[in-house]
Amino acid sequence: MPSPYRAIFAAPGARAFSAAGFFGRMPLSMMGIGVVTMVSQITGRYGLAGALSATLAMAAAVMGPLVSRLVDRYGQRRVLRPFTLVSAAAVAGLLICAQQRLPDWTLFVFAAGAGCVPSVGSMVRARWAEIYRGTGRQLHTAYAWESIVDEVCFIFGPIISIGLSTAWFPEAGPLLAAVFLLIGVFWLTAQRTTEPRPHPKEHHTGGSALRSTGLQVLVVTFVATGAVFGAVDVVTVAFAEERGNKAAASLVLAVYALGSCLAGAVFGLLHLKGKPSTRWLVGVCAMAVSMIPLQMAGSLPFLAVALFVAGLAIAPTMVTTMALVEQHVPRTRLTEGMTWTSTGLAVGVALGSSAAGWVVDASGAEAGYAVPVAAGALAAATAFLGYRRLTGPVPTGGRGDNDRDLRTDDRHVA
């Protein structure tokens, strides 16, 4: 491990909570694609598969900020465990309904319940922020490390989920995802010494973290960015199936994540100057442009190369986003603020996967790649329009008074 990464793990408990976060985030990369694979295996209907994946993402988008706001008030242990149990039970119901070929509406009911999954990545990043708040360099490295963990999940998650569902039985991928969720959340919440201190209800009278105009820009842009991710997942599975090798979709998507993982690893070693908002804008535009070559994909090897290049822009953009969130929301609502960006992604994934599923059913997989191209263009346009809100001074009501002395340091994060 390069020395900047080794240094951040000198903090007591850091290795343990980051490892727990890895298991807790595996469902992020396994559940949606696992449901798509399962339903397409059982019914052959990509429209239904994409709609169910969209339902999962939308439920997570609705519940995520609520769960995180409760976490900010009452602590991770008290809130995450019951919500995780509800989500796991709903996944079990979804798999039973799919296996028994029950009516479609039952699948949607349980998919919505499964979306109660907490944003484990936000919980882990909040622990890093509690340890390294105001230390720009270390916090940048910690956020970069967690982006690497995210991408490792997206490298191995689809391989495991699609591989199990195609080689063993259709429900295997989502089932293992639920097991990983239970392990990760219960292990994370067992670690009390690194848990951020909860803030009593009286400190939350200022309303939602989403009142921050800077956070609004990030969230709206991430809706379009999530549509890119959701569409790429669904269309890639269909593209591989059309070429007679559906299981290869997991490898192609893993290459996509590998590009992001490598870029994130290098980005974490850099000590960059200048405005994070400018780097964020460049990253969003780079993601948008990288979708164009997918339109020319005529084979799985070409598609894998194109997605690897596209992945290079993802992790650096995500790292910079977390730094901007910390600048634009109060400390007492940091977990909620981080979760709102995940919510934007989840809404986008829902829209993108659903739209891509219908396009694939109507016109085939190659036509489906028009969806991420359009979503990328929308993300870039939104980022340009909202850029000034990210470059201006943080409003007085945006951060708590006890955070003002950290603003100078925070501006150098990422």
Report yes or no: 59 and 114 within 8 Å, Cβ to Cβ.
Answer: yes
The answer to whether residue 8 sits within a structural domain is no
Token pair in block for residue 337:
């603020």
The Cα–Cα gap between 128 and 78 comes to: 20
The answer to whether residue 4 sits within a structural domain is no
The answer to whether residue 105 sits within a structural domain is yes
DSSP letter for 324, please. Answer: H
Contacts of 221 (CB under 8 A, 6+ apart): 284, 344, 379, 382, 383, 386
DSSP letter for 274, please. Answer: S
For residue 186, the surrounding DSSP H or E stretch is helix 172-189
Q: What is the largest CA-CA distance in the chain?
A: 60
For residue 214, the surrounding DSSP H or E stretch is helix 213-242
Contacts of 323 (CB under 8 A, 6+ apart): 139, 140, 143, 276, 410, 413, 414
- pLDDT mean by block of 10 residues, the chain; 414 residues: 74 89 88 84 79 81 82 86 92 89 88 85 85 75 83 79 84 90 93 80 57 84 90 87 82 86 82 78 92 86 92 87 79 76 80 85 85 93 86 50 35 32
Residue type, 59: A
The answer to whether residue 97 sits within a structural domain is yes
69, with CB counted inside 10 A (0-12, 13-18, 19+), is buried
- For the chain, what is the total number of helices (H) and then of strands (E)? 17, 0
pLDDT of residue 410: 35
pLDDT of residue 394: 54
The answer to whether residue 401 sits within a structural domain is no
Domain with residue 237: its CATH number is: 1.20.1250.20
For residue 269, the surrounding DSSP H or E stretch is helix 248-269
pLDDT of residue 333: 75
| Total tally of structural domains belonging to the chain | 1
pLDDT of residue 414: 31
- This model's pTM is above 0.75: no
Which among 381, 321, 371 is positioned nearest to 348, based on CA atoms? 371
In our burial notation (b when 16+ CB lie closer than 10 A, e otherwise), range 257-274 reads: bbbbbbbbbebbeeeeee
The answer to whether residue 348 sits within a structural domain is yes
Report yes or no: 304 and 245 within 8 Å, Cβ to Cβ.
Answer: no
Q: How many CB atoms are located within 10 Å of the residue 207 CB?
A: 9
The answer to whether residue 403 sits within a structural domain is no
3-state secondary structure of 369: coil
Q: How many CB atoms are located within 10 Å of the residue 109 CB?
A: 16
pLDDT of residue 87: 92
pLDDT of residue 207: 60
347, with CB counted inside 10 A (0-12, 13-18, 19+), is buried
The range of the structural domain enclosing residue 354 comes to: 14-195+208-396
pLDDT of residue 409: 35
The answer to whether residue 39 sits within a structural domain is yes
